[in-house]
Amino acid sequence: MNTHIIKGANCLLGKPGQGNGQLLIQMDWRYPDTQAEDVDASLFLLNSIGKVASDEDFIFYNQRVSQNGSVRHLGSVDTELEQCKAGFWIDLSRVSDTVERLAIALTRYSEGMPAATLQGLDCGFLELRNSANQPLARYEFSQDIDDESALIVGEIYRHTTGWKFRAIGQGFIGGLGALARHYGVCLAEETMPNIDSPLDDGSNLRVSLQSRRKRRSPNAIIAEQTQELKTKFERFLPQIRGACDRQENETRTRMILDQIFREVLGYPMENIKVEQSIEGRKADYVLAVDGQDVLVVEVKRAGMVIRERQIFQATSYGAYGGIRWALLTNLVEWQLYRISTGDRIEANLVFSVNLSKGLDSEAAYRLALISFYGFQRKGLLEKLWLKRSTLSYERLVAAVLNQDVVSKIRIILSNEAGVVLTQEEVQTAIERTLLHLE
């Protein structure tokens, strides 16, 4: 199927009742200089008269998630974008029934200055992909840009045959502020309600376009998330210690864990599955992110010693359910395992966090990786596992005993001592003295 469409063309994204309605929009562009960093993507959820029902239907750099979570703004640090500069994740099944269209726009940011134009932007495209990462439509819009400060790139709209996408490529004068007012958004710098919108009675929140969020590195964002998680977790520590002292039963332990999943690790209620069964095996919890099961959880009563049998219970469920990660916890101890399948099921410890003496920054970072946000940042947990497995005892021994390494050690020792050493003598000494291999 040819996914490339031109200005004015449209394509069907999916028939009603087919698939889960999840879309990934990826957008990219290029400027000959650093001006590319001044371009922002925004999205407006519009009703039947082409206006936002409330300011919360305006998704941009200062308001990144819609009220019901159906739309999420993605920046260049979000791994879903695969090197693109901006985009959106959309769950069409959760979009309000009052929303008829989702308009996607690009604007130049020019704080305190007249709106800059998009002229000179090159290699600009918008691509839509489904939940299976299959391309649905691609619109290359660079040639449709004139001397304007905003561009309505395209829109996703309801149709009798299902949701469709239309490539618009329409320029707009005045930048993001003017475009937002056009769609009925009440901006903070305005002193009066927007009379152009019949739905605006003056009670809407006023959106600020100021204090534009600078693009931050992935490390800066996960550091911020880690600190926030650490603060929230510390509030639960007295409750966790009290539960262990009282030797609370498993039911009470789960009640506390339910709160931690929601209030600390950030999982929405609908993403927390309880008492799940597969192939005759049962899991206490299965946590899901973006419609995919990502973590199986085995819970023991507060403070109870975690045993090998419980590790097997969690990892065997994960193996049959196609889940890579298994968590065991008794509230105070949190053990994460990576599940691998082959000739046999294996559970390899990735990290173990013990909260009996509090939560330091390293432990908070590890727990942040299994939060809802951490799993959305695809690859972070896998990188931790890869680093741990790479630095395993077996791999370190193999690296040290590599003949090139042994040869370099032999040369250094021989030059320093002024004696002649053979490769075999050096290797034997390393095995006996450093590695204690007999």
Whether residue 32 has pLDDT greater than 50: yes
Least confident of 20-29, 34-43, 197-206, 344-353: 197-206
Q: Is the Cβ–Cβ distance between 82 and 32 less than 8 Å?
A: no
Q: Give 191's pLDDT tier (boundaries 50, 70, 90).
A: very low
Neighbour count for residue 304 (Cβ, 10 Å) = 18
Q: Give 201's pLDDT tier (boundaries 50, 70, 90).
A: very low
Higher pLDDT, 10 or 311: 10
Answering whether pTM is above 0.75, one says no
Per-residue model confidence (pLDDT) at position 197: 40
Tokens found for residue 386:
């890869």
Tokens found for residue 229:
């998680």
Least confident of 95-104, 183-192, 289-298, 421-430: 183-192
Best CA proximity match to 297, nearest among 280, 268, 274: 274
Instruction: Measure Cα distances from 52 to 66, 100, 152, 188 in Å.
Output: 12, 10, 15, 16
Per-residue model confidence (pLDDT) at position 17: 57
C-alpha 13/C-alpha 130 separation (Å) is 8
Give me the percent of the chain exceeding a pLDDT of 70: 85
Whether residue 168 has pLDDT greater than 60: yes
Strand 71-74 with 86-91, pairing: antiparallel
Per-residue pLDDT tens for 422-431?
999 988 888 8
C-alpha 91/C-alpha 236 separation (Å) is 33
Per-residue model confidence (pLDDT) at position 10: 92
Whether residue 25 has pLDDT greater than 90: yes
Q: What is the 3-state secondary structure (H, E, C) of the chain?
A: CCCEECCCCEEEEECCCCCCCEEEEEEEEECCCHHHHHEEEEEEEECCCCCCCCHHHEEECCECECCCCCEEEECCCCHHHCCCCEEEEEEHHHCCCCCCEEEEEEEECCCCCCCCCCCCCEEEEEEEEECCCCEEEEEECHHHCCCCCEEEEEEEECCCCCEEEEEEEEEECCHHHHHHHHCCCCECCCCCCCCCCCCCCCCCCCECCCCCCCCCCHHHHHHHHHHHHHHHHHHHHHHHHHHHHCCCCHHHHHHHHHHHHHHHCCCCHHHEEEEEEECCEEEEEEEEECCEEEEEEEECCCCCCCCHHHHHHHHHHHHHHCCCEEEEECCCEEEEEEEECCCCCEEEEEEEEECCCCCCHHHHHHHHHCCHHHHHCCCHHHHHHHHHHHCCHHHHHHHHCCHHHHHHHHHHHHHHHCCCCCHHHHHHHHHHHHCCCC
Higher pLDDT, 111 or 348: 348
Query: Tokens 């959305």 correspond to what residue?
Result: 376
Per-residue model confidence (pLDDT) at position 240: 92
Instruction: Measure Cα distances from 241 to 138, 218, 234, 235 in Å.
Output: 54, 33, 11, 11
Whether residue 202 has pLDDT greater than 80: no
Per-residue pLDDT tens for 205-233?
567 776 555 555 566 677 888 888 899 99
C-alpha 137/C-alpha 135 separation (Å) is 6
Per-residue pLDDT tens for 268-298?
989 999 887 776 677 889 999 988 899 999 8
Largest separation between any pair of C-alpha atoms in the chain: 92
Per-residue model confidence (pLDDT) at position 204: 44
Higher pLDDT, 213 or 253: 253
Tokens found for residue 51:
């206006």
CA 207-209-211 angle, to 5 degrees, is 120
Per-residue pLDDT tens for 134-166?
889 999 998 888 878 889 999 999 998 889 999
Per-residue pLDDT tens for 43-93?
999 999 999 999 899 999 888 889 888 999 987 666 667 678 899 999 998
Higher pLDDT, 196 or 241: 241
Whether residue 195 has pLDDT greater than 50: no
Per-residue model confidence (pLDDT) at position 163: 92
Query: Phi and psi dihedrals of 223, rounded to 5?
Result: -65, -40
Average pLDDT, the chain: 83
Per-residue model confidence (pLDDT) at position 384: 83
Tokens found for residue 321:
């359910």
C-alpha 163/C-alpha 94 separation (Å) is 13
Least confident of 128-132, 281-285, 368-372: 281-285
Whether residue 203 has pLDDT greater than 50: no
Per-residue pLDDT tens for 385-424?
888 878 878 888 888 889 999 899 999 999 988 889 999 9
Per-residue model confidence (pLDDT) at position 208: 73
- List all residues 6 or more positions away from 135 whose beta carbon is below 8 Å from its beta carbon: 3, 127, 128, 129
